[in-house]
Structure 1
């Protein structure tokens, strides 16, 4: 008996494999570009590690997840759970090909929804303010964070190509601030006035603006999404002034967003969880130390690994298989 989680991330698709006791057996990642080109097949990679017939349940995330609001079997989710393929985020086709491959297998699969205006579990104020708050892998990341810390009241920061911070109160996800609204990540960030003007004047699409609004904007970097972070860190390592400014600005916006969520929380938070390639970064700079310039060591901080999305999805699969009907306030219909 094994359980599998899939994290449909920005730069690649990650998988985690757990045994029936919740022990992590393996984690691996498939590049979006390799998947799109047909160089790597998800089921082949899984079958190298486990017998596919031993999979009791797989939990997957895909795109925005804004077309449904419950954890559901894949055959009950229409149109892959998304309202539109257009919008925020670069489309490469790699994640789509992996989804098709998984969907056409005989593996029992559930899908995890995103957080959006039709999510019954969220605070109505967040739903009224924002049509979309977070994509589905943020749910699995928060679940992994909860199982790691047992904090009922916390902020979870998934900080990487984009930055999304999620507020949890009384063990339920209350709301979140999506990448196009608040803090910068390495690649994505908020669309500001200058970008709105560019969009109105037809110079760039909204998606192009969003995909160049993170720290890379400040450092003057334009490359394939999977290379942009490396480009920025190379410049940072070489003491490039624009890269140093980009990193420090990114950290400042994340601190602003975290303080904003703390400010509207009804409960005193137990702590802050940091994850993602930025949130867990120790080299070439220690992100936690940079963030603490603003937090001033007022809060407990737990840093978890970059595989939290895939592991959390597998943990959801395990717990749903064992009969759990509620994940962080999100209803399970399985």
Structure 2
């Protein structure tokens, strides 16, 4: 018996396979370009690691997830659970290829929704303020965070190519701040006044602005998403002043966003969970130490795996299969 979680991430598609005791069997990642070109098959990679006939349930995250509000069987989800692929950052087609493979397989699966204005599980103030708050893998990341910590009131800071911070209150997701609204990630970030002018005057599209509004904007780096991140970190290692300013600015914006969520939490928060390739980083800088310079040991910080999206999705699959009908306030509808 096996359970699978899929994280539809910015730089690649990650999978976590768990056994019937919810112990991790394997975690692996498929590069988006390799998937799109057909060089790597998700089904073939999964079959190398487990007997696909033994898979009882797989939990899938895909794109914005703004077309659904409940956790649903994949076969009952229309248009892959999204309203539009536009405005979602750089589109390579790799995630679409993987989804098509899984959709055409015989593996029973469910889809996790994103957090958006039609999500009945969220605080109405967040829904009134923002049309979109987070994509589906932020739900699975939050689920892994609650499993790892046992906390009921906390903030999840997922810092990678983009930065999304999620507020958990009474073990339910209260709301989140999306990458285009608040803190910078490595690649994506908020659209500011200069970018609005560029958009209005036809120099760049909104999506082009969003996809260059992170730390790479400050460091003057462009290219493929994965390459930009690696180049920025390499420049930082080499003592490049622009790279250091970029990372320091990213950390400052993340601290501001977390602090804002702390203010609107009605309960005392128990701590802050850090994840993502940057949030869990220990070199060339220690993200936990750097963010704590702002919080001055006021909150407990807990670093979890950068693969928490895939792990949490597998945990959701396991728990839903075993009868759980509510995940972090989100309804499970298998009817």
The two structures share one fold, judged by TM-score above 0.5: yes
Q: Which residue of 2 aligns with 1:297?
A: 297
Q: Which residue of 2 aligns with 1:67?
A: 67
Q: Which residue of 1 aligns with 2:118?
A: 118
Distance 2:41 2:206 in 1: 32
Shift of 1:75: 1.0
Q: Which residue of 1 aligns with 2:201?
A: 201
Distance 1:306 1:258 in 2: 19
Q: Deviations over 1:266-311 (max 9, x none)?
A: 0000110000000000000000111011010100111001110001
Q: Is the 8 A contact 1:14 1:29 kept in 2?
A: yes
Question: Normalising to structure 2: TM-score of the pair?
Answer: 0.99
Q: Deviations over 1:103-153 (max 9, x none)?
A: 000100000000000000000000000000000000000000000001000
Q: Is the 8 A contact 1:280 1:305 kept in 2?
A: yes
Distance 2:117 2:301 in 1: 29
Q: Which residue of 2 aligns with 1:167?
A: 167
Aligned pairs for 1:245-264 within 5 A: 245-264=245-264
Shift of 1:76: 1.1
Q: Which residue of 1 aligns with 2:310?
A: 310
Distance 1:49 1:255 in 2: 39
Q: Which residue of 1 aligns with 2:286?
A: 286
Shift of 1:184: 0.2
Distance 1:229 1:64 in 2: 22
Q: Which residue of 1 aligns with 2:182?
A: 182
Q: Is the 8 A contact 2:63 2:88 kept in 1?
A: no
Question: Normalising to structure 1: TM-score of the pair?
Answer: 1.00
Q: Deviations over 1:240-285 (max 9, x none)?
A: 1100000000000000000000011100001100000000000000
Q: Which runs of 4+ in 1 moved over 6 A?
A: none
Distance 2:223 2:305 in 1: 26
Q: Is the 8 A contact 1:88 1:206 kept in 2?
A: no
Q: Is the 8 A contact 2:12 2:29 kept in 1?
A: yes
Question: SS at the partner of 2:323?
Answer: coil
Shift of 1:88: 2.7
Q: Is the 8 A contact 1:137 1:309 kept in 2?
A: yes
Distance 1:141 1:250 in 2: 21
Structure 2, unaligned stretches of length 5 or more? none
Question: SS at the partner of 1:151?
Answer: coil
Question: SS at the partner of 1:158?
Answer: strand
Aligned length: 334
Q: Is the 8 A contact 2:325 2:331 kept in 1?
A: yes
Q: Which residue of 1 aligns with 2:89?
A: 89
Distance 2:89 2:173 in 1: 23
Q: Deviations over 1:167-205 (max 9, x none)?
A: 000000000000000000000000000000000000000
Distance 1:89 1:137 in 2: 15
Distance 1:318 1:85 in 2: 29
